[in-house]
Chain A
Amino acid sequence: MERDTNARATRFLVTTSSARASVPGASPFRLGVSFDRLGSVIALLAGISVFVLPFVTYRANRIVSGEPRLLLHALPTTVAVAVMGAVVAVALVAVFIRWPTVRLTAAALGLVVVVPAVGLSAGFMTPTGNNFARISPASGFWLLTLALGLLVADSLTRLRFGPWARLGALVIAAVAVAILLVSGAWHNLSLLKEYATRADSFWREADQHIFLSLGSVAAAAAVGLPLGVLCHRVRAVRGPTLQVLNIVQTIPSIALFGMLMVPLGFLAANVPAAAAIGIRGIGAAPAFVALFLYALLPIVANTVVGLDQVPANVVDAARGMGMSRRQRLTQVKIPLALPIILTGIRIVLVQNLGLATVAALIGGGGFGTFVFQGVGQTAMDLVLLGAIPTVALSFAAAVILDAVIDLAGRVRK
């Protein structure tokens, strides 16, 4: 591992030193110190966000425009200086230290300092007894979080964790966020104030969001996998099916919702059973159907590709040993196609978690509800209340499925 890191460091050194070849005597080799390119960018971002950009925004109430505050004025001076010191220390590590474990630890510690600090700042700046004042994180905080997040991501990439370790890292991150939220460290932030007034609907919309995205992917998998197998077997079905799904994929989501309103509305009006299970021209039904349709193409296409790439001599051997068609499919072809099929499911899961936000436009619910309410009220914090959980869910889904794909493909070359 260390050797690998050194090799990588050397490669970085070569690029940096060649870029600065015109400066005599500045060779990093001779000085024994060297500059990490990405680390330098991260340090620069961190510096700007701590010293130049506002850390939080103060507003007298939730919709008026706010006044920005620098980190130094957003916290008691000693605390502010301590936070600055911590950020500078992390920046130095990012620039000068190559060992990924150290970089990862530094970045994590930086986040542990900075993220609660913004909550602390909210408590510090809210006048006692004032329920209208809103303090929200400003560009400095977001940029700083981004910089530290980059450092975490970069170190994780360099460490090349296996699937289990990556899942472990995800769990640690989730626990850290849970602790942050439960501990009350952020309670004075406007984001959580928005949450507090909507706690019930937040969890209802969360359920709805997950139902729409996961449910549509599950339905698409239930239909798409058999359809993929059929396309793999019958060439005549393959072309037309993939073409139709391709066209569906190109329809913008709003347009698709609109197109679905008519048939679903008709169905609801004329078939009492359909209306009884909640099918309407607007609402969750067209959203679900649209998400389902969007998910079909990647699942079907990847199933076809996955089954096609199973080596012909393996299938021939299976047939020669007397495996029936079904046994060849379930015992040989599907296991060997699994990593590619799962890749298709990963794509649509991440896609639908994001796309489900749009469902709110036609009354389908989900986190999009907050986003569109927020846009309507020009309340940025409300937008974030919908957007942040969506991004977090997509991210978690991507990490989990990547790990599953790795595990499924592990035994193969």
Chain B
Amino acid sequence: MIEIEHLSKHYGETIVVDDVSLRVDEGTITVVVGTSGAGKSTLLRMINRLVEPSAGRVLIDGQDTMSIPEDELRHRIGYVIQGHGLFPHRTVAGNIATVPRLLGWDAKRIAQRVEELLLLFQLDPAEFAKKYPHELSGGQQQRVGVARALAARPALLLMDEPFGALDPLIRSKAQDDLLTIQRRLGTTVVLVTHDMEEAFHLGDMIAVMDEARLLQYGTAAELLTRPLPGFVERLVGTAERPFRLLSLAKVGDAVEPGSAEGEPVDVSSNLRDALSRLIWIGSPTAPVADASGAIVGRISVDGILAHGRRPT
């Protein structure tokens, strides 16, 4: 658990982060979102002390980060930046081994860990371990960057616009991969982005920042249904709102008794995708199947739309 308490940063007269407090729970993804210059990167960099706070403190599992030597602190926190920042003079394996080597792991343990991570990120060790970063595609470089950050099994991973340099198709694949890996490893993630879509896609919790201040901090559903008037409301986007709500809810939430004709939809898929299916096939209803394939009921257009409606 990370507790950020009254954290501020100013450079002379300029206030970059102004009295921000928030709590990040173990094993969750918190996305800090805002326009550029909102202070979100500075907030992130104060967690691993790349930027020293002017006031306030950060506690990791109850321990004040100021009480830990900075390099030691950073060995324990994974860090991923936009454009990956891989070392061009080291191979993929050498890059991933960076922190384990700093920690003085023995060669055998490092080699095992590197192989494990390459497999986790769907990079064949035989093919990729010896390659240099410039021989990889953008998506592969990004994956190596995340693998490198996870090498020493940090409990916390900080990501600063990690997908910013990727084209849209690779970007959404990279986001899905991150979700899968995060769920599997249970790593706590704090991610900074200016992309609202990304925030809703990845964030268990979303923190909206503007002009150095934290405006609203809550779950995605909270932000959609009760956005703070003004900046947050505009950022969330009124036109997109019902569809974003639908993409947060699962088919399981809207399943009703009864039967229907046609191909069943999966109970764990989201309502936005289910609605899209119904529109496309031109049917008001479809059967719902659980993971084993058994029909558990049906789903209807009206039932789905109810979930996208403004809460009363």
Contacts and interface: CB of A to CB of B under 8 A. Distances in A.
Interface stretch (B66-74, B181-189, B229-237, B245-253): B66-74
B99 interface: yes
B108 interface: no
B277 interface: no
Interface residues of B, number: 27
A321 B102 contact: yes
A411 interface: yes
Contacts, number: 68
Nearest to A320: B79
A321 B86 contact: no
Given A320-B79, A321-B79, A322-B71, A314 B102 contact: no
A317 B149 CA distance: 10
From B86, B98, B148, name the one whose CB has the most chain A CB atoms within 10 angstroms: B98
A406 interface: no
A332 interface: yes
Given A323-B102, A327-B102, A317 B72 contact: no
A327 B71 CA distance: 11
B135 to A, nearest CB: 10
B75 interface: yes
B81 A316 contact: yes
A213 B280 CA distance: 80
Contacts of A311: 85, 88
A319 B88 CA distance: 16
B99 A322 contact: yes
A322 B72 contact: yes
A321 B132 contact: no
Contacts of A320: 48, 50, 74, 79, 81, 85, 158
Interface in A298-317: 311, 313-314, 316-317
Contacts of A327: 102
Given A313-B81, A335-B89, A412-B134, A321 B50 contact: no
A320 B77 CA distance: 8
Interface residues of A, number: 19
B83 interface: yes
A271 to B, nearest CB: 46
A131 interface: no
A322 B102 CA distance: 8
Interface in A356-413: 411-413
A314 B86 contact: yes
Contact of B74 (A313, A314, A321): A321
A63 to B, nearest CB: 59
Contacts of A313: 81-85
Contacts of B50: 316, 319-320
Contact of B86 (A317, A323, A324): A317
B89 A336 contact: yes
A318 interface: yes
B87 interface: yes
Contact of A321 (B84, B89, B98, B134): B98
Contacts of A324: 71
Given A321-B99, A321-B102, A322-B102, A314 B75 contact: no
15 contacts: A313-B83, A313-B84, A314-B88, A317-B85, A317-B86, A318-B98, A321-B79, A321-B149, A322-B71, A322-B73, A322-B74, A324-B71, A335-B89, A411-B89, A412-B88
Query: Across chains A and B, which 4 residue pairs bring their CB atoms closest together, nearest first?
Result: A317-B85, A322-B74, A320-B79, A322-B75
Given A318-B98, A321-B75, 20 more contacts: A313-B84, A316-B50, A317-B85, A317-B86, A317-B87, A318-B85, A319-B50, A320-B50, A320-B74, A320-B85, A321-B74, A321-B149, A322-B70, A322-B102, A323-B102, A324-B71, A336-B88, A412-B132, A412-B134, A413-B88
Interface of A: 311, 313-314, 316-324, 327, 332, 335-336, 411-413
